[in-house]
Structure 1
Amino acid sequence: MIIFFENYDSFSYNVIELFKIIKKKIIICNYDDKKILNYLILYDIKIICIGPGPGNPIEYKIYSRIIKYFYKKISILGICLGHQILGVFFGFSIEKSKEIMHGKTQKIKNCNDLLFNNVPKKIKVTRYNSLIIKRLKINNIKTLSKSDNEEIMIFKHIKFSIIGIQFHLESIKSKFGLTIIKNFVKFYSK
C-alpha cells in the first residue's frame, strides 16, 4: 500500500492517477492531517510518496519527523517539493534555480540505474519550480539525473530506498513518467 502526502497542489491527483494505473492501493493524506502518524502505523505501508506543493520545503516541518522515523523501513519517493524536502533532510541546501521553470520543458540526462529501465538516456521533462537542491558533501547519496544546466533532477540514497525527483513526471509534457513510477515500485519498493 502507498500513502501519498498531499500538499494542496493541483498536480497531486495526476501523480495519484499514475499509481492507480499500475494498480496500487493508495491512501491520500493531507500533510497537515493530525492523524498522519496513525496512518503510517496502522496500515501496511510499503511506499511513502511526498507529492508536489507550493512554498519552501523548510515550511513543512512534519516531514522531517516522518522521514527520520521511516526512511530505513519504508521506501520514500519525493516529487518536486517532496524531492526538495528529502534533499533538505539528507543535507542538501535549497537555492533559487538558475531559471524559473514554471511549466517549462527541459531535457535531462539519466545515468545507468534500474529507475531508468526502458527509459532513454536523455528525456524531456516538465518542471514547475523556482527552487532547487544544491549538493553539499553528502555521503550515501547518488545523483541519477541532471538538467542541461547541471541542476539535480533525480537523486537516490545508496543504502535505503529513497528517491527524489525534481520534475513533474505526471505532466503530459514529461516523457516516460509512468515508466519511472513503475520502475520505482518494481525495483525500489520494500
Structure 2
Amino acid sequence: MKTLGLIDHHDSFCDNLARYFKLLGVRVDQRQSNDLNSLTDIPSTWTHLCIGPGPGSPATVPYSIRMIELAYERLPILGVCLGHQCLAQVFGGNIIASPSIHHGKTSMLSTVPDPLFAGLPSSFRVGRYHSLAVDPYLFPRDLKIIATAQDSGEIMALRHRTYPSVGIQFHPESILTEYGSTLLENFIKSENH
C-alpha cells in the first residue's frame, strides 16, 4: 500500500485532500507544518509527499520548504496551491502577487501532455483559491510549465524536469475542479526514479 505524507498548513482543504487520497486506497500520514518534531526527516514509510494548501506564502512555512529539500530526490512530490508555490521557490522560482485575487473562482485550464493529465482533456475547469502566483518572467530552468489559466495566462501547473515533483496552483479537491480525483490518482501512480 502506498503511504502519502500530507503536510497540512492548518487549512480545511487539507482534510478534503486526505479524504480523496484515502478513497484512492492510499494510507495518509497527515502532519501539521509547524510541528518541529515530526518534520525533521522523511519517514521511511512514505512513498509520496503532498505539500498542501494554506494561508500565507512560502516565506511563512519554512518547515514545508525543508521537507521539499529533504524529499525531492527520494519521493514524488505534489504541491497544491501554497505547496505549488513552495516547490517553485525551492527550485529557484519567484512568488508574486497574482494580477487578480482568485478565491472561489473558476478558470479553464490549458495543459500540455504530461503524466499528471493522463486520460484528461487538454482543457478543463479548475477551482482557484489564491492571491499569490509563480512569476512567469523569472521562471527556473529546472522546471517546466505544464498548465496555464486560459483567462489570465497564470501558471497553473509545473513539473521538475528531472525529479518527480509537480505543483498545481488550483485545488483538485474542490468541487469546482473537474477531474480532481483523476489528477490525484495520476500523481499516486508516479514513481521515484
User: Normalising to structure 2: TM-score of the pair?
Assistant: 0.93
- Distance in 2, matches of 1:28 and 1:137, equals 30
CA distance in 2: counterparts of 1:65 and 1:185, whole angstroms: 22
CA RMSD, Structure 1 to Structure 2 (Å)? 1.3
Q: Aligned-pair distance for 1:113?
A: 1.1
Structure 2 unpaired stretches of 5+: none
How far, CA to CA, are the matches of 1:37 and 1:174 in structure 2? Answer: 30
| Unaligned runs of at least 5 residues, structure 1 | none
Q: How does 1:33-72 map to 2 (within 5 A)?
A: 33-37=35-39, 40-41=42-43, 43-72=44-73
1:17 counterpart = 2:19: yes
What is the CA–CA distance in structure 2 between the aligned matches of 1:137 and 1:143, rounded to whole Å?
9
Q: In structure 1, what residue type is equivalent to 2:183?
A: I
Matched position secondary structure for 2:36: coil
- Residues 44-53 or 28-37, more deviating: 28-37
Q: What percentage of aligned pairs have identical amino acids? A: 35
- Partner of residue 165 from structure 2, selected from 162, 167, 172: 162
- Answer whether contact 2:91 2:142 (CA < 8 A) is retained: no
**Aligned residue pairs: how many?**
188
Asked if the contact 2:7/2:64 (under 8 Å) is kept, the reply is no
State the alpha-carbon separation in 1 of the partners of residues 52 and 68 from structure 2.
Answer: 14
**Matches of 2:26 and 2:111 in 1, distance apart?**
26
User: Partners of 1:155 and 1:137 in 2: how far apart?
Assistant: 10
TM-score normalised to structure 1 length: 0.94
User: Map of 1:1-190 to 2, 5 A cutoff?
Assistant: 1-37=3-39, 40-41=42-43, 43-135=44-136, 136-148=138-150, 149-186=152-189, 188-190=190-192
Query: Deviation digits for residues 111-161 of structure 1, max 9, x if unmatched?
Result: 111111111111000100000011325222111000011100000001101
CA drift at 1:39: 6.5
Provide runs of 4+ in structure 1 moved above 3 Å: none
Secondary structure at 2:147's aligned position in 1?
Answer: strand
Secondary structure of 2:12's partner?
coil
